[in-house]
Homo-oligomer: A and B are copies of this chain.
């Protein structure tokens, strides 16, 4: 395994020398080949699917179809169209002694991503890592092994044709040992991103010795304030809860100011009885991923803030209010990646935010926070150019 890490590190050193156009060309060729060789990918996918019952919820997440492959190819072509996140100078100054300093964006180097099911993640992660000059190590799940291997083989063929080291993308075995080795690979892995449920994320955070970005877990609140507009509240709550219940930005808990208790039936009406309302205090802080919604009446903005501070996961939080001071205080006090006023948390998404893509939603504060796309896959270094100056 160490040898795979070492090769990825070596590859990362050559990747930073490619031009953006070379990278884009590779992404477009992968898109083309994925469409041309769709049957190969589907055949591999069938081998994975045969191990499941069609009624298994995993089945749909694992499933590839011609249409889904076309969607993947479209995403690859979109990433190729995005501006390069590399070489951006975020600070530039000349010191009194003539030293010229620049702070410039560069790739991390090697990024490890641990993910569950969904073979399209191989394409997504590779495209964002490659476009941002990073090598990547993918650790997928056993259930998607055949699909993942077919996808990685296809990408390797394109890399080889382009004369680029195939170690730019490495598929690790779908084993716990691979996860453990990846998390301990200090000096080889510059960043590790777990994409999956709470259990995976907790395991990675508790065991990693390499830097980690926690993603995805969203215990999401909406607070309907005493000065909330009822019509806006109805739209926002229904959209945040119902658009897709299985995503991390979906609403989990509605807090309502006690002056507006009478409006609760109207607020819930657009959901048409399809959502189970849960008022049991013990369930607060649950990420439902389902047609369920916690509901609590609070006495004040401060009680709402305290509730969110206690139970929120720092993902996305929302207030519905027409009072500007209340809105400002909510946005100031809530410690989360995305804090909304009069809009649903459903918008927490890289593409929606105009980032052009998304590799995940960071819920931590060190490094990128919120939706991550290309810029968030870079770090920076300082370049200092002198002419023999010395320090006193």
By a beta-carbon cutoff of 8 Å, the part of chain A in contact with chain B is 13, 16-17, 93, 95, 99, 101, 103, 106, 108-109, 186, 190-191, 205-206, 209, 211-213, 229, 231-232, 235-236, 238-239, 243, 309, 327, 331-333, 335-344, 346-347, 352-354, 364-367, 369-370, 379-391
Contact = CB atoms under 8 A, between A and B. Distances in A.
Nearest to A346: B391
A384 B229 CA distance: 17
Contacts of A347: 99, 384, 389, 391
Nearest to A341: B385
B381 A370 contact: yes
A240 to B, nearest CB: 8
Nearest to A370: B382
Contacts of A386: 340-343
A366 B336 contact: no
Given A353-B101, A354-B95, A366-B367, A388 B335 contact: no
A365 B333 contact: no
Contacts of A339: 381-384
A367 B385 CA distance: 24
Given A13-B309, A365-B379, A235 B390 contact: yes
A347 B232 CA distance: 55
A387 B235 CA distance: 11
| Identical copies in the complex | 2
24 contacts: A13-B309, A95-B352, A101-B354, A106-B335, A205-B209, A211-B211, A211-B212, A235-B388, A236-B388, A239-B390, A239-B391, A340-B384, A341-B384, A342-B386, A342-B387, A343-B384, A343-B386, A343-B387, A343-B388, A346-B390, A347-B391, A366-B366, A367-B367, A369-B382
Contacts of A239: 390-391
Given A95-B354, A366-B191, A331 B243 contact: no
Contact of A331 (B327, B352, B379, B383): B383
A334 B385 CA distance: 14
Given A332-B17, A343-B99, A211 B382 contact: no
Contacts of A354: 93, 95, 101
Contacts of A387: 232, 342-343
Given A103-B370, A235-B388, A338-B381, 18 more contacts: A106-B335, A109-B335, A190-B366, A205-B209, A206-B209, A229-B388, A232-B387, A238-B390, A243-B391, A337-B381, A339-B384, A342-B385, A343-B388, A346-B390, A347-B389, A366-B379, A369-B379, A369-B380
A232 B388 contact: yes
A365 B229 CA distance: 45
A386 B190 CA distance: 37
Contacts of A343: 99, 384-390
A351 to B, nearest CB: 11
Contact of A381 (B205, B238, B336): B336
A211 B333 CA distance: 22
Contacts of A383: 331, 339, 341
Nearest to A98: B343
6 nearest A-B pairs in the assembled complex, by CB-CB distance: A343-B386, A232-B388, A239-B390, A211-B366, A365-B379, A346-B391
Contacts of A212: 211
A325 to B, nearest CB: 13
A16 B330 CA distance: 12
Contacts of A366: 108, 190-191, 211, 213, 366-367, 379
Contacts of A332: 16-17
